A = this chain, B = another copy of it.
Amino acid sequence: MRTIKSINSLKRELKIIKSKNQTIGFVPTMGAFHKGHLSLMRNARRDNDIVIVSIFVNPTQFGPKEDFEKYPRQIKIDELFAKKEKVDIIFYPSAKEIYKDCHLTYVNVTNISKVLCGRSRPNHFEGVTTIVSKLINITEPDVMYLGQKDAQQAVIIKTMVKDLNFNVAIKICPIVREKDGLAMSSRNSYLSQKHRQEAPCLYKSLKEAKKMILAGNTNSKSILSWVASNIKNNSSGIIDYTECINADTLMPISRIKGRAMIALAVKFRKTRLIDNILFHLK
Contact = CB atoms under 8 A, between A and B. Distances in A.
Interface of A: 7, 100, 103-112, 129-130, 133-134, 137-138, 140, 159-160, 162-167
Contacts of A109: 104-105
Contacts of A159: 104-105
Contacts of A134: 163-165
30 contacts: A7-B165, A100-B162, A100-B163, A103-B163, A104-B109, A104-B110, A104-B111, A104-B159, A104-B163, A105-B107, A105-B109, A105-B110, A105-B159, A105-B160, A105-B163, A105-B164, A106-B108, A106-B110, A107-B107, A107-B108, A107-B164, A108-B108, A134-B163, A134-B164, A134-B165, A137-B164, A137-B165, A137-B166, A137-B167, A140-B167
A129 B112 contact: no
Q: Determine the main DSSP class of A at the interface with B.
A: mixed
Contacts of A103: 163
A165 B131 CA distance: 10
Contacts of A106: 107-108, 110
Contacts of A130: 164
A108 B129 CA distance: 12
A208 to B, nearest CB: 33
Contacts of A137: 164-167
A260 to B, nearest CB: 18
A189 to B, nearest CB: 32
Contacts of A110: 104-106
Contact of A108 (B105, B140, B162, B164): B105
A265 to B, nearest CB: 22
Nearest to A105: B163
Given A105-B160, A138-B165, 13 more contacts: A7-B165, A100-B162, A100-B163, A103-B163, A104-B111, A104-B112, A105-B107, A105-B110, A107-B164, A133-B164, A137-B165, A137-B166, A137-B167
A133 B107 CA distance: 10
Contacts of A162: 100
A134 B130 CA distance: 15
A54 to B, nearest CB: 12
